[in-house]
Structure 1
Amino acid sequence: MSQPFFNPFQDLIFDEHFCFLSGVLTTEKMTVFPNWLMDHFKFGDEKIEMMDKTKSYIYSDLKLPCSPEVKEAFDALDTKIKAAYKNGFEGMASLDQELLFQWTGRMVYGLLYYEMLYERDRLLKMGEEFGLSEHLKERFGRFHLMLQSIIEPISFVGKKPWSIVVFPLKYSADIFSYRDDAINLMFSFGVNGFGFIACLQDNGIIGEKQKELLDKMEGQVLHPIQFEELYARFHYSDYILQYKPEYKIENNDNGITIESLPIEKKGSKPIFGFWDEDIFAQLLANYWSVYGIEREDILKFQKPPLSFLENPYSKDFIKPETIDLPF
């Protein structure tokens, strides 16, 4: 195509006058988190912290500059997600994963946008210049290009750039659980009825790594503590992934096609680094703190690490109904 698509990471353009997705001049804004979601679970007035914990915002105050076209596209997507949501697990599982990618991508990108604004302004006050490594510029730029598929002729062919898993989940009514890691482009979402985990730019390799476990849990309604452990496994797998996802991006008269290239081992370097049970236990303890479970409870001398997903000896899946913890 004659005109390249907008890439804010090329020149680090994060300005309220330019649409976050298309780059056109605008005076309109849209919320980072869908209004219906904030209204339904009543978290619009709650605070969310930035990654360094020194800055916080009110959820409903997080807004992205957007063109009318972009707002209309995300409103239409929200209508589809909301309709699927009402049908619980079956509704969400029936959605095309590209829609889930775009829906979660909006929130993850929105938080990433605010991280960029915060870091830029923080450095400006110190008289320093804001910058990103070439690796992050490329990674975030690719993610932004993929997100533009909601408004531009961008299609995904062959292997998809993400791992997204949807599963039945049991929570007390009206509880909404979500976690994100905007820098690593990860997101998890759980309510009564279903949960899903999304690694938005791993080329599917983390889903493949966890396939054996995912196959074991098929048809089971997960307990929330199992949901937290599953996300921890995805999150830590992303941390130890040793290869950069790469893509075949082709530009033609009909738009852009994006194909994820398989992540393959080169030489003696494995795809994933060493799984350190000590580091994983610390991560898991952060997720399990609501149950009063600490790192010392997960790792005990001469005992296998604590798991609520698999029996450490037989590796059988642990039935959710046998877990005597609140949900």
Structure 2
Amino acid sequence: MSLTLFNPFEDLIFDEHFCFLSGVLTTERISVFPQWLMDQFKFGDEKIEMMDKTKSYKYSDLELPCSPEVKKAFTNLDLKIQAAYEKGFEGMESLDQELLFQWTGRMVYGLLYYEMLYERDRLLRQGEEFALSAHLRERFGRFHLMLQSIIEPVSFVGQKPWSIVVFPLKYSADIFSYRDDAINLMFSFGVNGFGFIACLQDNGLIGEKEKELLDKMAGHVLHPIQFEELYARFHYSDYILQYKPEYKIENQEDGITIEALPIEILENRPIFGFWDEDIFAQLLSNYWSVYGIEREDILKFQKPPLSFLENPYSKDFIIPESIDLPF
């Protein structure tokens, strides 16, 4: 007999009376963003917008219904991450990536949960039915299954479903940089000492695509503008990924194993589509706006695109200390 676990995307169950992860009836709640993180960087009272920009919440008001078991599991995980955080880059790098997946996944799923609630309520007010495409139901359902590994016998074997990279990063003290794309299950996090980027369901394809650059970065402490460019590269790569990640999921009585399957590449269809420098420059300019860098500065006539990661001619990694910009 196989193990049966809760999947809210089967019947689109997003209700404050049911634990977001296990589905059991509950009155407990847990914050989407770890309390220690909000306290450390004092962003609990700041606002975060939903995707359509018409609704916003305070970070501290974002909470998920959860069972005592789930709350305890994430509380213990928070303690492990906080202890690693206090050791800086070395502490974070030493963590098992599955822990980073679960910790990051709680925040990304929490934002996804609120997007589902908002869209459901918006449609109800208009007298319309809330629905998701079969593709999104499957994708989000699998992500939810993977996140249940924190409380259930769900394990990962072989190729992991994610790309997670951790690297040294220099920021001014008390600055916290965070970006997410809940629909595409992406997340970036940067503070003074380290940063990490997580693509939570790409089957490692984007990390492999950027391996050459990541190898060049080894041993260097990134400048923040390099961190933003790296995340932009991961984000755009996810956009042009032409194959849906597939999994081998084996469900036995004693647990579930998940293995990311290799891509079966079709003729004339590479893993990643065409890299459009114009589109990428527009995306990158959004991340670089704090430096006053616009799309027109990135793309100039008869010049290669501006980069702070690689010399456009030699492809050598740009030494962070040579970048004369604030951090």
TM surpasses 0.5:
yes
Indicate yes or no: 2:235 matched with 1:235: yes
Q: Which residue of 2 aligns with 1:68?
A: 68
Partner of residue 119, structure 1: 119
CA distance in 2, matches of 1:315, 1:238: 22
- Whether the aligned pair in 2 keeps the contact of 1:203 and 1:263 (CA below 8 Å) is no
Partners of 2:2 and 2:248 in 1: how far apart?
19
Q: Equivalents in 1 of 2:26, 2:325: separation in Å?
A: 50
SS at 1:9 equivalent:
helix
Question: Is the contact made by 1:264 and 1:271 (CA closer than 8 Å) also made in structure 2?
Answer: no
The residue that corresponds to 2:158 in the other structure is: 158
Task: Work out the number of aligned pairs and report it.
Answer: 327
Number of the residue aligned with 2:276:
276
What whole-Å deviation, never above 9, does each CA across 1:115-147 have from its counterpart, x for those lacking one? Answer: 000000011111111100000000000000000
Query: How far off its partner does 1:254 sit?
Result: 1.8
Deviation track 1:278-311 (CA, whole Å, cap 9, x = no partner) reads: 0000000000000000000000000000000000
Structure 2 partner of 1:301? 301
8 Å CA contact retained: 1:88, 1:194: yes
Q: Distance in 2 between matches of 1:322 and 1:254?
A: 55
1:263, CA displacement in angstroms? Answer: 2.1
User: What is the correspondence of 1:48-63 to structure 2 with a 5 Å cutoff?
Assistant: 48-63=48-63
Q: Indicate yes or no: 2:235 matched with 1:213.
A: no
CA RMSD between the two structures: 0.6
- Provide runs of 4+ in structure 1 moved above 2 Å: none
Identity of aligned residues (%): 87
- TM-score normalized by the length of structure 2: 0.99
Shift of residue 265, structure 1, vs aligned partner: 1.4
Whichever residue aligns with residue 131 of structure 1, its letter is A
Q: In the alignment, residue 67 of structure 2 is paired with which amino acid?
A: S
One-letter amino acid matched to 1:132: L
Q: Look up the equivalent residue of 1:37 and give its one-letter code.
A: L
Q: Which residue of 2 aligns with 1:170?
A: 170
Is the 8 Å Cα contact of residues 38 and 44 (structure 1) preserved in structure 2?
yes
Deviations 1:19-49 (A, max 9, x none): 0000000001000000000000000000000
Counterparts of residues 138-153 of structure 1 (less than 5 Å): 138-153=138-153
Deviations 1:6-29 (A, max 9, x none): 000010000000000000000010
The answer (yes or no) to whether the contact 2:6–2:23 under 8 Å persists in 1 is: yes
Does residue 1:265 correspond to 2:262, yes or no? no
Matched, 1:37 2:50: no
Mind listing any 5+ residue stretches in structure 2 that lack a counterpart? Answer: none
1:310 and 1:242 mapped to 2: Cα distance? 25
Measured after TM superposition, the shift of residue 253 of structure 1 is 2.5
Counterpart contact for 1:205–1:263, Cα < 8 Å: no
Could you tell me which residue of structure 2 aligns to residue 134 of structure 1?
Answer: 134
CA deviation map 1:146-169 (0-9, x unaligned): 000000000000000000000000
Unaligned runs of 5+ in 1: none
Structure 1 residue 268: deviation in Å?
1.6
Distance 2:92 2:298 in 1: 33
Which amino acid is the alignment partner of residue 231 of structure 1?
Y
Structure 1 residue 193 corresponds to structure 2 residue 193: yes
What CA distance in whole angstroms lies between the structure 1 residues aligned with 2:51 and 2:281?
21
Task: Work out whether 1:285 is the aligned partner of 2:285.
Answer: yes
Contact map agreement 2:3 2:255 (CA 8 A) in 1: no
Distance 1:210 1:5 in 2: 35
Residue 103 of structure 1 aligns to a residue whose secondary structure is helix
Please tell me whether the aligned partners of residues 243 and 271 of structure 2 are also in contact (alpha carbons under 8 angstroms): yes
Distance 1:73 1:49 in 2: 28
Determine if the alignment matches structure 1 residue 310 to structure 2 residue 298. Answer: no
Structure 1 residue 264, shift from structure 2 partner: 3.4
Partner Cα separation in structure 2 for residue 262 and residue 165 of structure 1: 20
Q: Distance in 2 between matches of 1:3 and 1:154?
A: 10
- SS at structure 2 position matched to 1:27: coil
**Corresponding residue for 1:324?**
324
Instruction: Output the TM-score relative to the length of structure 1.
Output: 0.99
Please tell me whether the aligned partners of residues 186 and 199 of structure 1 are also in contact (alpha carbons under 8 angstroms). yes
Measured after TM superposition, the shift of residue 262 of structure 1 is: 1.2
Contact 2:164-2:198 within 8 A present in 1 as well: yes
For the residue of structure 2 that corresponds to 1:189, the secondary structure is strand
8 A Cα contact 1:248 1:259, kept in partner: yes
